[in-house]
A and B are shown apart, each in its own frame.
Chain A
């Protein structure tokens, strides 16, 4: 039992370290990808290819003056970035990073905690995440920070609705809230993206908004709000805010890969597992197969992180009313429609075909309807 406890704590520690490490290197890759997309070279001075850049950045942030404005609410001002970081780190606990490890006769899951309300936990913590920004912006006692914080709060609330509704379609198919059982139902190449293309687009859009990433980065737009909610922050407090955004990006990518792209599943996984077990024996083979699955899962996560950065240098920022229009008038109705289609598909007994037929019927109906009833100002 002791060794199981040890392994479990090692896994938790590992997940913690990995999410922090990946977040640190996201800052570096953000700069490199930005540079490459803009035909530049990017950071290449600190260490080979500039890989020590995150360390240099962190060192610089630590040595900057830690400033608290006189009129600010001191304790809330300190609490803001801590909350943002705390909530960002809490989410990764329920994500299944791999299948399981066989050790000492025990089967240990590669996951922080396996709970049967996994996805609810993610949503609960993510919805708390906005408190970090809101408290920080309010405590700064600066009207631009407050504007940024209010924008963040209303944006997160608006998009969480559509996000939740698009997830319900997934839950209807998997009939479970546990992330692990959602992953296990996508065994092999049976990924949810094939059943839920519209749900995926809605979820992706909403997760951009939840992470406050471009094109939904209104809370921190420097040209209208002088950097928004973190205007008054400097030193490592600002660092924590920025860092928590990157942790959020990592976790969101992991959730995206888990829900829609099969988590640690990949085509031909049974064949690989059988080969490995044949070659290395029952225990080692199983563990190696888990490792392969985990690596593939991380590949998917990195792909989504890349998409986040890719979109950042493609799309311009939304105007605030357009953002609200998109959230309330487009995404929420669409996700309700998606729910109806999924429900019909589940009842019909042929989810894959019925989902696509339902989507096609909806598009045709929408097209005809907008031709007959639509005004020129219809926005979607």
Chain B
């Protein structure tokens, strides 16, 4: 029974004299390797040369602000509940008069901490958030740390900087491929 049309009939003829000497075969093989010698290299020289990672990459956390610069997080705690590694903890506080330009809702996170030793970058916090406040950036890794003091990320490391807002360049596969084509000479 034929399952695919890729099947190839085996050639069981005895080898000819030229084939048995293997020299033409070796010459052909060496031609192939020499062709690769001059072909385009697929290497990306990483620290100097970086590549767009794709919109679905999950990296460094960010707490988004809205268009007017107010923090979106209302300290509901759903991200902490969703987190399978229990890396997120927060302290809620009530917004007082005069802080309307800082926090969007009446409740906000006075402290918001993620333990990067525990975080597994699963993205469930992102999905759990009803206020679209917490995201995992597609363009930034969590930097390497050597000390345990450096692993608990507070609001100072997480809240978005209004001068340097975080945006995703691409949301779909097609947009991503357009970006890649612009960035790399080789089409991956």
Partner of B14, one of A33, A315, A366, A376: A376
A352 adjacent to chain B (CB < 8 Å): no
Partner of B41, one of A39, A378, A379: A39
B29 adjacent to chain A (CB < 8 Å): yes
Q: Which residue of B lies closest to A330 (CB)?
A: B21
Residues of B within 8 A of A311 (CB): 26, 30
Q: In the bound complex, how far is the Cα of B32 from the Cα of A88, in angstroms? A: 32
B20 adjacent to chain A (CB < 8 Å): yes
The A interface is mostly helix, strand or loop, or mixed, namely loop
Q: Is A37 touching B30 in the complex (CB atoms < 8 A)?
A: no
A201 adjacent to chain B (CB < 8 Å): yes
Q: Is A40 touching B34 in the complex (CB atoms < 8 A)?
A: no
B40 adjacent to chain A (CB < 8 Å): yes
Q: Is B17 touching A37 in the complex (CB atoms < 8 A)?
A: no
Q: Which residue of A lies closest to B25 (CB)?
A: A315
B43 adjacent to chain A (CB < 8 Å): yes
Q: In the bound complex, how far is the Cα of B14 from the Cα of A36, in angstroms? A: 36
Residues of B within 8 A of A379 (CB): 20
Partner of A314, one of B17, B29, B40: B29
Which one of B17, B34, B36 has the highest number of Cβ atoms from chain A below 10 Å of its Cβ? B17
Q: In the bound complex, how far is the Cα of B14 from the Cα of A41, in angstroms? A: 41
Partner of B33, one of A41, A201, A314, A370: A314
Closest Cβ of chain B to A44, distance in Å, is 8
Residues of A within 8 A of B33 (CB): 37, 310, 313-314
A interface residues, Cβ below 8 angstroms from B: 33, 36-41, 44, 201, 310-311, 313-315, 363, 366-367, 370, 376, 378-380
* 22 residue pairs bridging A and B, Cβ less than 8 Å apart: A33-B37, A36-B36, A36-B41, A37-B36, A37-B37, A38-B36, A39-B39, A39-B40, A310-B33, A311-B30, A313-B33, A314-B26, A314-B29, A314-B32, A314-B33, A315-B26, A315-B29, A363-B17, A367-B17, A370-B17, A378-B20, A379-B20
